[in-house]
Structure 1
Amino acid sequence: MHEVKLGLHTFGDITLNDDGTRTSDAQTIRNIVDEAVLGDELGLAYFGVGEHHRHEFAVSSPEIVLAAAASRTRNIHLGTAVTVLSSDDPVRAYERFATLDAVSGGRAEAIVGRGSFTESFPLFGYDLRDYEVLFEEKLDLFARLRDERPVTWEGTTRAALADADVYPKTENGFPVWVGVGGTPASVVRTARYGFNLMLAIIGGAPARFRPFVDLYHRSLEEFGRDRLPIGVHSPGHIADTDEQAWEELYPAMEANRNAIGAERGWPPYSRLQFQHDVGPDGALFAGSPETVARKIAAAVRVLDVDRFDLKYANGTMPHAMLMRSIELYGTTVAPMVQDLLRDA
């Protein structure tokens, strides 16, 4: 097996202080920058920050947070997880990434998607009834902007462009991924535009996503494109033992899932569901370094992917706990995964 790149994702979850009080949004953002710095020091490949517009999360402008991280890091690639392109302006989004690429010395990456929350649509004046067409049209425009040449474009969701240019220009462009939750049409569309594929595996066994990997490869071939990278995004947490990791993660996971589930009509989260999720057929990569490394290696093997990004922040887990998880991920899990893949 080829060597897989390992990265980190956070949605900027508001955490708790040691005394149980809520960490401020501002301190949460400063903590995220420190987490990115640690990831860089440990030699991890990628640090992604999600975009949200609700009280559980501190980050609504990830590129600004990433620019701060760029000033304190040297090698780690920096990007989003994801940019909600449907409620953004593709021109402004592209220019923000080009700016981030400049200040980071060519380390910017974009993961764009429709997002799993809808608060940004009314906030920025979009109608949820246009959910599909907003993403389709804006992804089309974003794809055209990659050439960094004047663009002529017309659609129904924003003003037309006639020979319009974008600035600043990048030195070498930047990688663009599309976050996909598991629909064939999204996979085919990603291949059609020539974007990298990021599979959001947040439920069920990773193996069930293999048909989407195969579909992506077939679609790239049919569109006359070369092989492009595939990545996986999944939540998890690492501690010294399985039991410690599960006891640290479960209360925050339960509270987070139940709060969001109350809005969406989900049943209450339970210990039984949690134990399934951390098992071999679940999408939670939580446990001791060896447990997590073996589960990552198994997912990489069955899916034949190029990158695995651990969503290490899940609910109100304290900053120190997250830093320890990142430390174990970089020092122990990452080399163990590579060893397991080489020995396969």
Structure 2
Amino acid sequence: MNTINFEFGVYSLGERFPDAIGKVLPAQERIENIIQMAKWADEAGLDVFGVGEHHRLDFVTSSYAMILAAIARETKNIKLASSLSVISTADPVRVYEDFATLDLLSCGRTEIILGRGLYLESFSLFGVSLDDYDKLFEEKLGLFMKLQEKEVVNWHGEFRTPLRDAQIAPRPVQSKIPIWIGVGGTPGSAIRAGKLGLNMALGLLAGAPERVQHLTNLYWQAASVAGHDLSQLKVSVTGHSYLADSGEQAIREFAPCYNQYMAYGLKDRGMPFYPISAEQMMPQRAANEILAVGSAEELAEKILYQHELFGHLRFMGQFDMGNQSMARVEKAIDLLANKVAPIVHRSLNK
């Protein structure tokens, strides 16, 4: 019998939104907390830790690769990933150099999730036009993939100067840095990832998983038509998450943080948000709901339910959202590693 190696991880976007009384965590403390989370995840035996890219005063992760580099020297086994890298507005050569260096620092533990991101501040910050949204992503993704192939690269495109016998250094420990494509709800993004034979990181926030099953179906179909070996490809599911000893406790500890996080984030984007009480959120613990909040047993059941729909082999949770206390985050990481993971592994490898 072939063993199914299902992976578990956590990630942070590094937001520093005001709490219920308007207090904002200092940037230095927020970064230290992210590093501590990664250390806990590594010590607990989780598989991957991610840090997302944002370029705003209410986030601390504009230089996310540097944070991952600090984590690399504080951990031993855990894979380190972006979650995600906004390749549309970055120089792929610079991003590749950063992550190749990270791979050297971590002794070959680096991965990268490339995408377009939810926030758009990086477009004006780095002088690129939203009018070129799709073309930028396609061209820069293609260049990043080409940089993996050779040490000396020749390339030309529309949005940056050509590369002529360009020496791309350093080279990573791995022959190629594993690439994932971040996908929200856009079918074209899922199809692109499948056609290119790249892994897909599916961001799921709420609702019924059946509503997004078409995305994974499109991904697997596109990969198959393109002739890729499906056994070499992976899908991950990422999203808002929290664990406690009981499902009711998890919801009651999570709901205030969720409301604070969502209210601030949507207000900044000019969108209304209506707080959800803990009682209203309780049904989200069911296996056929996406929100990854509950007891260890409930989350394990949810992951197994989604595995049947998506065929995914990785779960990554955002446990620190909304100023959740570090003590509770540590507890949630422990439950994921020592309760959820064993249940899922046993069930998938009967």
The TM tier, using the shorter chain, reads: over 0.9
Aligned twin of 1:220: 223
8 Å CA contact retained: 1:13, 1:313: no
> Is 74-83 or 182-191 further displaced after alignment?
182-191
Aligned twin of 1:179: 182
**Cα-Cα RMSD:** 2.2
**TM-score, length basis structure 1:** 0.93
* Cα shift readout 1:138-187 (whole Å, capped 9, x = no counterpart): 11111111113322222222112223221001232221101011322111
Aligned twin of 1:270: 275
Aligned twin of 2:161: 159
8 Å CA contact retained: 1:289, 1:329: yes
**Structure 2 residue 200 is the aligned partner of structure 1 residue 197:** yes
The Cα shift of 1:340 comes to 3.0
4+ residue runs of structure 1 moved beyond 6 angstroms?
none
Aligned twin of 1:308: 315
Cα distance in 2 for residues equivalent to 1:322 and 1:74: 20
The residue correspondences of 1:184-333 to structure 2 (distance < 5 A) are: 184-227=187-230, 228-271=233-276, 274-275=281-282, 277-333=284-340
The Cα shift of 1:275 comes to 4.2
Distance 1:110 1:328, change over 3 A: same
Given residue 96 of structure 1, which amino acid in structure 2 is its aligned partner? D
The Cα shift of 1:329 comes to 1.2
Cα distance in 1 for residues equivalent to 2:90 and 2:155: 17
Cα distance in 2 for residues equivalent to 1:341 and 1:13: 35
The Cα shift of 1:16 comes to 7.8
Question: What are structure 2's unaligned runs of at least 5 residues?
Answer: none
Cα distance in 2 for residues equivalent to 1:181 and 1:328: 27
Which secondary structure state, in structure 1, belongs to the residue aligned with residue 182 of structure 2?
Answer: strand
Cα distance in 2 for residues equivalent to 1:333 and 1:212: 25
Cα distance in 1 for residues equivalent to 2:50 and 2:154: 31
Identity of aligned residues (%): 38
Cα distance in 2 for residues equivalent to 1:45 and 1:70: 14
Aligned twin of 2:28: 26
Alignment partner of 2:345 out of 332, 338, 341? 338
The residue correspondences of 1:29-178 to structure 2 (distance < 5 A) are: 29-172=31-174, 173-178=176-181
The Cα shift of 1:5 comes to 0.8
Cα distance in 2 for residues equivalent to 1:275 and 1:13: 26
Cα distance in 1 for residues equivalent to 2:114 and 2:103: 16
The Cα shift of 1:233 comes to 1.0
> Is 259-268 or 295-304 further displaced after alignment?
259-268
Cα distance in 2 for residues equivalent to 1:10 and 1:308: 14
8 Å CA contact retained: 2:49, 2:79: yes
Cα distance in 1 for residues equivalent to 2:131 and 2:260: 30
The Cα shift of 1:38 comes to 0.8
Higher relative contact order (CA 8 A, sep 6+): 1
**TM-score, length basis structure 2:** 0.91
8 Å CA contact retained: 1:16, 1:318: no
Cα distance in 2 for residues equivalent to 1:120 and 1:274: 34
> Is 200-209 or 169-178 further displaced after alignment?
200-209
8 Å CA contact retained: 1:14, 1:57: yes
Which secondary structure state, in structure 2, belongs to the residue aligned with residue 271 of structure 1?
Answer: coil
The Cα shift of 1:21 comes to 4.2
Distance 1:328 1:15, change over 3 A: farther
> Is 309-318 or 133-142 further displaced after alignment?
309-318
Given residue 8 of structure 1, which amino acid in structure 2 is its aligned partner? V
Which secondary structure state, in structure 2, belongs to the residue aligned with residue 216 of structure 1?
Answer: helix
The Cα shift of 1:278 comes to 4.2
8 Å CA contact retained: 2:107, 2:173: no
Cα distance in 2 for residues equivalent to 1:141 and 1:276: 45
Which secondary structure state, in structure 1, belongs to the residue aligned with residue 81 of structure 2?
Answer: strand
Cα distance in 2 for residues equivalent to 1:205 and 1:232: 14
